[in-house]
Structure 1
Amino acid sequence: MLILRSSGILMHISSLPSPYGVGTMGKDAREFVDFLVRSGQSYWQILPVCPTSYGDSPYQSYSTFAGNPYFIDLDKLEQEGLLEACEFKDIDWGGTSEKVDYGELYNKRYPVLKLAAERFLQAPSEAFDTFCAENGFWLEDYALFMTLKNMNDGLPWLEWEIACRNHDSKALENIGEEKKDDILFWKVLQFFFFSQWHELSAYANERGIDIIGDLPFYVALDSVDVWAHPELFQLDGERQPVDVAGCPPDGFSATGQLWGNPLFDWNVHRADGYSWWIRRIGYLCKVYNVLRIDHFRGFDSYYAIPHDAPDASSGRWQEGPGIELFRAMEEAIGPQRIIAEDLGFMTDSVRQLLKDSGFPGMKVLEFGFDTREPNHADYLPYNYPEHCVAYTGTHDNDTVQGWFTSAEPADVALAKDYMRITNMSDGHWDMMKELWASVAELTIVQAQDILGLGSESRMNTPSTMGANWSWRALPGVFDENLAGKLNYFTKIYGRDA
């Protein structure tokens, strides 16, 4: 992956301003693209766009292939004659202009989208038939899965009646006939999503902005991926996970992190030439211009925790597929533009895998000042390789201003000395300038950091639930003054690719 010296901004679609409770692929998304252009940026990085499930995390989705219906722009549906203004513009979507209320969205968004889908299906387009045919390999199972989930009041598929839980073809055939209108509804929502997504992507690309998307390494247990293809995962005879995913104890957590995702059965994947992975990566490389693969180290070795363990301390490392998977991928679909998230517990074999893949890895500047970690200096700019993507922080980190107040005093003192900070209120600019000045080919900063926001705008705090994934930017904050300032520094540091 060859990258000209350039820069970009991390801003998830859900965080865009919008009068409808959550960011969408409408006017505000295009205005953000325009802001990126005026700022001299080349990349817009987002989080996974797949549907969120319990906990609202885009990394725990019902489907690795589907798009999030919340991001469908209602104004666009009105323009197409599928909605009336009175049907959505006066709804109280809950939350505030700075926070998403996912509970209100769940209760109120789908009835509005159902109105639009019913009108669309009165005269479905040829493009819809084409979309269904081209995406049938995931769309059929997804639409059926979501229909069954609604029939079961949202319960996880492991709690459905046994025939549906076990994907019995006769039972599913009967439900498919009985609930064909519901199944069509879920297909139409995906058609709406990807039609708008491709329009937004084209708008960005035509203006010189590439979109970096995200591929979560693991999939959720309560997902169509596991329900429809249990053979790909380490499950027992009752389709329960044998072991689950997580990470070991470290300086951040004495008991590690227990994620709970089912683990892949790599022997099965290897036996059929990694076809599921090749299809997944190839599909997402068409959705995005550049694909960031989360938890890249899991391809080298992964942490397996007994499914009934109370925490992650009893886990053990198991061998992953290694470079074999990526060689099979490149042979099947050719070289792809991929960023490897190589953060976390690193070993020589993980470093070798990254080198063999040729993908740029990641550096996080905040980590460079974490004196609890013996190798923290690896994340300081004087140690960056040119072939990497460098961040102030990711969606899992505090904002820069938040970090200044939440980090250990000794770490903050080190950062102040290293970056020659004299005014802490402008410290986020000092950290971003340090990043932009580095040799890293590509640098990405969070939208919260260019706005100088604190911990209240943090996107995610790992191993916590209830307050994550909800931050939204206020209307008007991405203004001409901010664009001009960003553009100035982008040129100073030679990142106006």
Structure 2
Amino acid sequence: MTPMVMEDLFSTRRAGVLLHPTCLGSKWGVLGSSARHFLDFLADSGISVWQTLPIGPTHGDLSPYQSLSAHAGNTYFIDLAELIPAGLINADELSGRGYKKAREQILSIASQRFFDLQDNEVDFSHAGYLQFCQANEHWLEDFSLFCAIREAHAGSRWFEWPQALRDRNPQSLQDFIGVHSETLRRIRFEQYLFHYQWHQIRQYARERNILLFGDIPIFVALDSADVWANRNLFKLDKEGKPTVVAGVPPDYFCSEGQHWGNPLYDWDVMSENGFQWWLERLNSQRQLFDLIRIDHFRGLQAYWEIPADQPEPRNGYWVPGPADSFLEACFNRFPGLPLVAENLGVIGDDVEQLRQRFDMPGMTVMQFGFDGNADNPHLLRNHLPHNLVYTGTHDNDTTLGWYQSLDEHTRHNVNENLNGYGDDMPWPVIRAVFDSASVLAVVPMQDLLALGTDARFNTPGTIINNWVWRLDQNMCSPELASRIRGLLEHYNRLT
């Protein structure tokens, strides 16, 4: 599917919804009937953008911002029920199993059956599989090997593996491949399945005039195929452990700052071949999404570097990023690249000037607009057309929960600005977002359902009860779709 360019995406006023696919919560996977039903609801509502969080495979904490790969898809998204009509499994194999164990077993059965059967016996072609493997060889081989070694060592982190595998000794890797060839083939096939189903859903969305909006974390997880296979691109010691890590100083989201723990890039080394690793990463996302957000954009101008042996965020310091040279390489390689800058948090003029030099849309968030400062860029009257506006993001409380937690003075300020009394919250904020001058207005699904703090998806700086909220699609009623469509028509956001 041909990627769109920024001019096409921002040529008309649109409305979007923010919902990570895991929230769809189908037992057997989301890239099937669950995603199609949700897209039908969006189409009925007049919403033309579906924004997700990063869709890579996660660690045990479920954070989509700490993925095992910058390229691979999360195989828990694969809808196993869709494999029945495809001829890869039968209904009996899908029923009556424990969920996690069943997925592993069923995908293994599907993989074996795919390679055993002829093309006329299944809906997936062997030629398509080979084409996928060839087109993605630059990341798929390292990822498959990484996952297979990880499985063979009980899920341990790569820097804890035997030294020969940790350090990618060529003979040791060849010996491992010889013994585990079937596992490697299964992992490649799982990625083929993910990408096949994802593109089916993307086509379904495009037929309904809905664009997919993805998210790239600026940093990658230490325990990832990317770091294991490209150690020279990161600031690591001889054992593969970071010498410095990523984080942020104190800000709105966390008064103590945040220690993310991601390894930091050696940008000087990356620049030597024109940031090729990053260009490949962007190209992977271009194949999946129509619009892409770079999370923590300010890290391209300067990033917060925390010494690994002094892990408190307050011990960090700002280090210049690659800035113009990096973005020039990106836009030279991909003219019209549809990039959005996440420019929230501690943002100086230098960061905004970098964003504006490359004509990248930024973000405003309604929840940040009520501090009484007339110059606050998040205040409704200060919104700019070539930007995105949100009621809140995945890192905020739901708008209802936020409103209920405000002190009396700030709540009064909200009511004054929105010409209301909060009785119908969060709808006054939603109406304000749709009324904004910004070309794309995005509302988290929890806000469209008027849910409180119990539906919050993530609380920065914490590690429990995050990423687990699930949507009850029975709440996506025709009445709600009609209400949303009426507002979008009123505010000229129907495409």
User: What amino acid is aligned across from residue 92 of structure 2 in structure 1?
Assistant: C
Residues 386 and 439 in structure 2, CA contact (< 8 A), matched pair in contact too = yes
- Is the counterpart of residue 74 in structure 1 residue 80 in structure 2? yes
Cα distance 1:7–1:317, how it changes in 2: closer, same or farther (>3 A)?
same
Map of 2:159 onto structure 1:
158
TM-score by length of 2: 0.94
**2:364 is paired with a residue of what secondary structure?**
strand
Map of 1:147 onto structure 2:
148
Shift in Å, 1:219? 0.2
Name structure 1 gaps, 5 residues minimum.
94-104
Q: 1:465 aligns with which of 456, 463, 474?
A: 463
- Is the counterpart of residue 118 in structure 1 residue 112 in structure 2? yes
- Is the counterpart of residue 274 in structure 1 residue 280 in structure 2? no
User: What amino acid is aligned across from residue 113 of structure 1 in structure 2?
Assistant: L
User: What amino acid is aligned across from residue 188 of structure 2 in structure 1?
Assistant: K
Map of 1:48 onto structure 2:
54
Map of 1:220 onto structure 2:
221
Map of 1:101 onto structure 2:
none
Residues 370 and 376 in structure 1, CA contact (< 8 A), matched pair in contact too = no
Map of 1:261 onto structure 2:
262
1:180-259 equivalence runs, <5 A: 180-259=181-260
Residues 369 and 376 in structure 1, CA contact (< 8 A), matched pair in contact too = no
Q: How many angstroms apart in 1 are the aligned matches of 2:461 and 2:112? A: 40
Shift in Å, 1:370? 4.8
**1:121 is paired with a residue of what secondary structure?**
helix
Q: How many angstroms apart in 2 are the aligned matches of 1:277 and 1:494? A: 37
Count of residue correspondences: 480
Map of 1:488 onto structure 2:
486
Map of 1:63 onto structure 2:
69
User: What amino acid is aligned across from residue 56 of structure 2 in structure 1?
Assistant: C
Map of 1:91 onto structure 2:
97
Map of 1:403 onto structure 2:
402
Please identify, of 195-204 and 409-418, the stretch whose mean Cα deviation from structure 2 is larger.
Answer: 409-418
TM-score by length of 1: 0.94
Which digits, 9 at most, give the CA deviation of each residue in 1:137-177, with x for residues without a partner? 10000000000001110011010000000111110011011
Map of 1:380 onto structure 2:
379
Percent same amino acid at aligned positions? 38
Residues 17 and 475 in structure 1, CA contact (< 8 A), matched pair in contact too = no
Map of 1:11 onto structure 2:
19
Q: How many angstroms apart in 2 are the aligned matches of 1:408 and 1:64? A: 41
Which digits, 9 at most, give the CA deviation of each residue in 1:6-64, with x for residues without a partner? 111111111114243xx511112111111111111111111111101131111100000
Which digits, 9 at most, give the CA deviation of each residue in 1:435-474, with x for residues without a partner? 1111001000000110011111111111111211111111
Map of 1:99 onto structure 2:
none
RMSD (Å), alpha carbons: 1.5
Which digits, 9 at most, give the CA deviation of each residue in 1:299-347, with x for residues without a partner? 0000000012242000000000012111112222222111111111111
Q: How many angstroms apart in 2 are the aligned matches of 1:182 and 1:437? A: 53
**1:9 is paired with a residue of what secondary structure?**
strand
Shift in Å, 1:496? 0.8
**2:426 is paired with a residue of what secondary structure?**
helix
Q: How many angstroms apart in 2 are the aligned matches of 1:292 and 1:456? A: 27
Q: How many angstroms apart in 1 are the aligned matches of 2:181 and 2:400? A: 51
Q: How many angstroms apart in 2 are the aligned matches of 1:243 and 1:261? A: 9
**2:425 is paired with a residue of what secondary structure?**
helix
Which digits, 9 at most, give the CA deviation of each residue in 1:48-96, with x for residues without a partner? 1110113111110000000000000111111112122222233354xxx
Cα distance 1:37–1:251, how it changes in 2: closer, same or farther (>3 A)?
closer
Shift in Å, 1:251? 4.8
Residues 397 and 456 in structure 2, CA contact (< 8 A), matched pair in contact too = yes
Cα distance 1:294–1:317, how it changes in 2: closer, same or farther (>3 A)?
same
**1:378 is paired with a residue of what secondary structure?**
coil
Q: How many angstroms apart in 2 are the aligned matches of 1:346 and 1:369? A: 18
User: What amino acid is aligned across from residue 72 of structure 2 in structure 1?
Assistant: A
Q: How many angstroms apart in 2 are the aligned matches of 1:298 and 1:423? A: 37
Which digits, 9 at most, give the CA deviation of each residue in 1:171-227, with x for residues without a partner? 001101110001011001001000000110011012111100111110000000000
Q: How many angstroms apart in 2 are the aligned matches of 1:359 and 1:495? A: 21
Please identify, of 471-480 and 250-259, the stretch whose mean Cα deviation from structure 2 is larger.
Answer: 250-259
Map of 2:36 onto structure 1:
30
Name structure 2 gaps, 5 residues minimum.
1-5, 118-124
Cα distance 1:59–1:251, how it changes in 2: closer, same or farther (>3 A)?
closer
Q: How many angstroms apart in 2 are the aligned matches of 1:46 and 1:79? A: 28
4+ residue runs over 4 A deviation: none
**1:66 is paired with a residue of what secondary structure?**
coil
**2:377 is paired with a residue of what secondary structure?**
helix
Cα distance 1:451–1:91, how it changes in 2: closer, same or farther (>3 A)?
farther
Residues 422 and 428 in structure 2, CA contact (< 8 A), matched pair in contact too = no
Cα distance 1:92–1:240, how it changes in 2: closer, same or farther (>3 A)?
closer
Q: 1:442 aligns with which of 440, 443, 463?
A: 440
Residues 45 and 212 in structure 1, CA contact (< 8 A), matched pair in contact too = yes
**2:287 is paired with a residue of what secondary structure?**
helix
Residues 254 and 460 in structure 2, CA contact (< 8 A), matched pair in contact too = no
Q: How many angstroms apart in 1 are the aligned matches of 2:253 and 2:407? A: 12
Residues 415 and 422 in structure 2, CA contact (< 8 A), matched pair in contact too = no
Cα distance 1:73–1:59, how it changes in 2: closer, same or farther (>3 A)?
same
Which digits, 9 at most, give the CA deviation of each residue in 1:393-417, with x for residues without a partner? 1111111111122344433232122
Q: How many angstroms apart in 2 are the aligned matches of 1:118 and 1:359? A: 46
Cα distance 1:150–1:375, how it changes in 2: closer, same or farther (>3 A)?
farther
Map of 1:453 onto structure 2:
451
